[in-house]
Amino acid sequence: MAENAVWIVLVVIVGGGIAAIVAYNVARARRGSIEVSLPSTAFKPGDVIAGSFALHAKQPIEGRRLVVSLIGTQVTKTREGGKTRSRSTEVFRDEKLIEDAREYPAEHRETHPFEIEVPDTALPEQLNSPLGKTLAAGLRFAGASQTHLRWRIEARLVAKGIDLVGSRRVSVTTPTV
């Protein structure tokens, strides 16, 4: 009997969490959207990523700032005792301000171009940066685990209430150490 109660509580908690996530995504979709466009998704260190993003505010939005970011996330997978575990840590973020605070009226549509540079991790000063140290450490411990960097371009309207976000994955070749 107690075992059934535990399962019922677990189902209610998980179901409530899923319902909250769905409700949040529906509310975000009702506010608007951001779609990132890139002519290419493969880059080398030192390249400039040039693209654009289309912002569509379906409802009036009180924007605090509009930014585009290049984000590097270190993903480490380890295998212990027959189980695979994955851990992600953001190791790099370069954020460019596109617009300061602004009101966006309902049905506002606008396309914003951007350029953002891929870090040149081959330069000696970059190897001493947090990103360079993380890359080197990840490569040293690659024998015990699998580590790679996952990159993405993210455009975000930081707003009162729910932010609008759009992103695209990009690949960046990394130098061998």
pLDDT per residue over 112-127, tens digit each? 999 999 998 654 454 4
In the numeric block, which tokens belong to residue 82? 């027959």
pLDDT per residue over 19-65, tens digit each? 556 544 545 556 899 999 999 999 999 999 999 999 999 999 999 99
- Mean confidence (pLDDT) of the chain: 83
Q: What is the mean pLDDT of residues 104-109?
A: 96
Structural domains present in the chain: 33-172 (2.60.40.640)
In the numeric block, which tokens belong to residue 15? 């179901």
Q: What angle do CA 15, 21, 27 make, to 5 degrees?
A: 135
Q: How many angstroms separate the CA atoms of 174 and 145, rounded?
A: 18
pLDDT at 14: 67
pLDDT at 175: 62
Least confident of 43-47, 66-70, 130-134: 130-134
pLDDT at 113: 98
**DSSP string across 95-123:** EEEEE-SEEE-TTEEEEEEEEEEPP-TTS
Category of 68 on φ-ψ map: left (φ > 0), alpha (ψ -120 to 50) or beta: beta
The residue with tokens 């949040």 is 24
Length of the chain: 177
What phi and psi values does residue 125 have, to the nearest 5 degrees? Answer: -70, -25
